[in-house]
Structure 1
């Protein structure tokens, strides 16, 4: 089972990858939205903001998110690490329910470029 530190490192790695993206992926990463990532097996939520092509984690909270971020993810720590390391394909994980993504329709259409 991934630790909180490994999950935070995975989010940092994802943020670094997004910041150096080009084309459509860079445009999708340029959204300015509140974001949360609930790690279900650790029952912890990373809350912050997607801004300037980076994910800025401002808080690590116990339990599920206390407020609804504009973009909300939910998964196990192992799945987060596997997604960021390229070992788990997002579409398959989302389709099987291993990863949950909630966002407005316009944001979902933009975010699909990241997937």
Structure 2
């Protein structure tokens, strides 16, 4: 089972990969959206923002993602929400697991608006 630190490093590597992307992938990564990533087996959620082609992790909270962060009504539920096991996050970032296959089998959950899903498909 991946540790919380391994998951944080995987998110950092994903962020680095997105920032170094070109063309349509870079354009898709240029969204400005709030993001949460719930690591189901560790029962922790990374909260952050997709901005400037990077994922900036601002906080780590115990449990699933809240509807608002720490009761702050100005930080509503993330616009892009991911949920998966830590090992799956590490495998996805390392290219050992195909996102579409993992999503289709339910190993990875992605929730976002229809427009954001359409834009994000270039990243996946």
- Per the normalisation by structure 2, the TM-score is 0.92
* Counterpart-to-counterpart distance in 1, 2:121 and 2:66: 26
Compute the displacement of 1:66 (Å): 1.1
Compute the displacement of 1:94 (Å): 0.1
Aligned counterpart, 1:108: 117
Secondary structure at 2:111's aligned position in 1? strand
Aligned counterpart, 1:30: 30
Aligned counterpart, 1:62: 62
Number of residue pairs the alignment of both structures matches: 115
Q: 1:82 aligns with which of 70, 86, 91?
A: 91
Larger Rg: 2
Q: Unmatched 5+ residue regions in structure 1?
A: none
Two-structure CA RMSD over aligned residues (Å): 0.4
Q: Unmatched 5+ residue regions in structure 2?
A: 68-76
Kindly provide the CA deviation profile for residues 46-99 of structure 1, in whole angstroms up to 9, marking residues without a partner as x: 000000000000000000011220000000000000000000000000000000
Does 2:53 correspond to 1:53? yes
